[in-house]
Structure 1
């Protein structure tokens, strides 16, 4: 798939989406030198507790109140019931490419070699990674923080509890993947070298070099943690994904997965399945198998869930309880696949529905319980609720379209707001979104009531797919001259994220 074709998926603009946005408030090759990332290293700085970030905005009567870990204890009950946009954080120094919410702390990764740590609308601390763009962040249950980087490495951090205070403001690097010792041992073994794309990921198919299989030879695009299996998965533009054992950071397997850059990887959380999505337009399902002896793991291709040709796959999110997987792509659609929908083919996935809520490419997805959130290059987020019927078949109701970012939404997370209910006793949830405009926004919504009335049809069940693809609803929308494109100013950035 050519660069022009990839980019065009992101530059097709929906005039309606542009009006909504206006009306509301790939690749460096990894360093060939071995670094000394292993061992303990402090790279933290502490934010001022008495001063706010460079720019901080919170709408009137909408402070962060009773949010999961981001709440103010002195908030009034009226503020605690607010919905919609409740806070926006902007810190000079970089576009936001990744974020992760863990307990009462929010981590954000930028292109300025920094991971920032937020709490109570303030920058609590941060740590400098020294590696450029931070493309992925996941936080383990034991507090370890895994970050994926443009230089092809995965680094491991831990908050230093001995420094005192809560939460800890000092973060130390405690390792890197692969560990330096493993990398040095493999470098002297000729059989450890494989052919890998040179400096261009999937775009440089004719250019290859020999590299140690333990290490990604291009940017790490995505991370996924399977706590139950004790595994961390990393996807890369070098067209592979790797499986790491989190107990000792050992690389158990490197899988040549796709013909182009691997943009996303997700552990399904059921059936030992792992899914990968690529710029070649395919989604593949891999099954984890334990080799004899129990010390080796291999992943076997089970099926190709989505064939190429309909645009690059940019994000995948799974809901283990519902045995559902959501796939976002550069054509602006989110497809939902379900496993075990009937008694005949318990292990066979079925296309459950297609969510059409964006005019340009979907860049990120997050799932929590019945809530699904997608972020797009058009600067908006669509929030959906999955509704189960008696046959366990899911329909989706759109709860909101969140407009407020002035650049593409690159990362999103959802957290249940278990301790905060509205006047009718309805449970609410919180959405965190990070954008290339440099801001992180926090939204609160009700799981039962839509923030605004959705259009009549936004979710399409599988039997109508063929008819819809032939209808005007599936045709490219013409660009409106009177309306400026919401991504026009971000064309240089979109060139960088078209494959990620």
Structure 2
């Protein structure tokens, strides 16, 4: 294996090289831990910097931390961009993470591996086909979906800073009948847009623009079930790891819940959630708190619908919707009590659900991108007092950003929740018009920016 040594960001993005653990030069806004939140009993208390006994020093003028622009009653959230990758091998379509490694899939046939959270390059895996629309990582396994409508399995290891990967197989396996290579009925007929993995059963689910969902048994790489799930593109899929329920959403405007038939590999439709006709682009399922589950769906009209699971059944009841995004919601991530949403309006919104209720507040609007935010990934950082998160985002402006977010304890919240039964509730005013990159505007006018 060749190790070319340290390279600049643009040299890595400009030419093909062998896989290596070398580092990238990524523009950072300051040292990651510089000017962090400072807590000291000796600091003077004031109404503006005391919260639940915690004394918070206001950020210095040089600090990279930014307060929530929504002017909540107290500064309950701080955030800043700690790294920004301004040039990549085309648009980044997908992000996944495992074993302290972040993977990005793009138009290229290389899937890059980055170290968490500073995004130094670990290396990359190279396939013979690009346009990686979906990535999923679990343990030491990596699943990637490519332009040829096939999914590739990889094993990877990270040891002493060195990243190594090995291809296991591609599914479906190519037919042994060379005269009829295209007669494999197991293969999707259009791009694989989303994937989900059921850990307990070792099942990989793939959703496609051909309207179907397929279930693959990872142990023997076989397709155990295939069914037409929607009347239009399947845009997102996820699995409830507690009971194996499968959730799908589609451009047909519906969210569907599927259950695996007991002792069989087939799946049956148990519920269809459809509150409005707008296409659904993204799904997220909240962690379970006291047997409470919330399902979120991002819509092309800019709203986020959510459903609350009944405690004693598998039914989900519509609880309301969150408004604030100006254009389509393209991606969603939930972690703890937070919901991160990325939109065509170029912004990322951070929402928080109140404990034990359906009320949500919008804590912040992150507006660092200049094109639609296509995908998000969030992970928790261990903190002593505040909750810390690392958020990865990519946009159709061909940038990849890393954000550090800290949520401070705060009881005085300002809700941005809309109950469809309350006609007095008004929509949130937008703080600013989105600043769109000319290249994205050109793609939007051509009507091919999501193809």
* Segment drifting more, 437-446 vs 376-385: 437-446
The Cα offsets for residues 38-69 of structure 1, whole Å up to 9 and x where unpaired, read as: xxxxx9611534xx34xx21112436999xxx
Match of 2:27 in 1: 57
Does 1:174 find its partner at 2:168? Answer: yes
Equivalent of 1:46 in 12, 20, 26: 20
Give SS of 2:253's match: coil
> Per-residue deviation at 1:285?
1.2
TM-score in terms of structure 1 length: 0.70
The answer to whether the Cα contact below 8 Å between 1:269 and 1:320 also exists between their aligned partners in 2 is no
Match of 1:333 in 2: 303
The CA distance in 2 between the partners of 1:415 and 1:222, in whole Å, is 20
> Per-residue deviation at 1:398?
1.6
Equivalent of 1:399 in 359, 363, 369: 363
The answer to whether the Cα contact below 8 Å between 2:281 and 2:329 also exists between their aligned partners in 1 is yes
The CA distance in 2 between the partners of 1:277 and 1:484, in whole Å, is 27
> Per-residue deviation at 1:353?
2.7
Does 1:134 find its partner at 2:128? Answer: no
Match of 2:330 in 1: 363
Give SS of 1:490's match: helix
When the two chains are superposed, the root-mean-square deviation of aligned CA atoms in Å is: 3.3
Q: Report 1 or 2 for greater relative contact order, CA contacts < 8 Å, sequence distance ≥ 6.
A: 1
Give SS of 1:259's match: coil
Match of 1:159 in 2: 156
Does 1:145 find its partner at 2:95? Answer: no
**Structure 1 residues 64 and 125: alpha-carbon distance in aligned structure 2, compared to 1, 3 A threshold:** farther
**Structure 1 residues 320 and 441: alpha-carbon distance in aligned structure 2, compared to 1, 3 A threshold:** same
> Per-residue deviation at 1:380?
0.9
TM-score in terms of structure 2 length: 0.77
The CA distance in 2 between the partners of 1:308 and 1:213, in whole Å, is 34
Equivalent of 1:219 in 191, 198, 212: 191
Structure 1 residues without counterparts, runs of 5 or longer:
1-42, 67-77, 190-209
The CA distance in 1 between the partners of 2:171 and 2:33, in whole Å, is 39
The CA distance in 2 between the partners of 1:103 and 1:315, in whole Å, is 25
The Cα offsets for residues 371-425 of structure 1, whole Å up to 9 and x where unpaired, read as: 1111111111111122222xxx33212221111011111110110111x34xxx1
The answer to whether the Cα contact below 8 Å between 2:333 and 2:378 also exists between their aligned partners in 1 is yes
Equivalent of 2:93 in 85, 97, 103: 97
> Per-residue deviation at 1:103?
2.9
> Per-residue deviation at 1:496?
3.9
Greater share of helix:
1
**Structure 1 residues 185 and 227: alpha-carbon distance in aligned structure 2, compared to 1, 3 A threshold:** farther
Equivalent of 1:84 in 80, 84, 93: 80
Aligned length: 389
The answer to whether the Cα contact below 8 Å between 1:275 and 1:283 also exists between their aligned partners in 2 is yes
**Structure 1 residues 496 and 400: alpha-carbon distance in aligned structure 2, compared to 1, 3 A threshold:** same
The answer to whether the Cα contact below 8 Å between 1:64 and 1:87 also exists between their aligned partners in 2 is no
The answer to whether the Cα contact below 8 Å between 1:64 and 1:121 also exists between their aligned partners in 2 is no
The Cα offsets for residues 276-334 of structure 1, whole Å up to 9 and x where unpaired, read as: 1111111111111134xxxx41110112111562x211111112513221101111111
The answer to whether the Cα contact below 8 Å between 1:408 and 1:437 also exists between their aligned partners in 2 is yes
Superposition pairs of residues 3-82 of structure 1, within 5 angstroms: 45-49=19-23, 52-53=24-25, 56-62=26-32
**Structure 1 residues 255 and 491: alpha-carbon distance in aligned structure 2, compared to 1, 3 A threshold:** farther
Equivalent of 2:375 in 408, 411, 416: 411
Match of 1:460 in 2: 418
The Cα offsets for residues 203-251 of structure 1, whole Å up to 9 and x where unpaired, read as: xxxxxxx953311111000011121232111110011011111222211
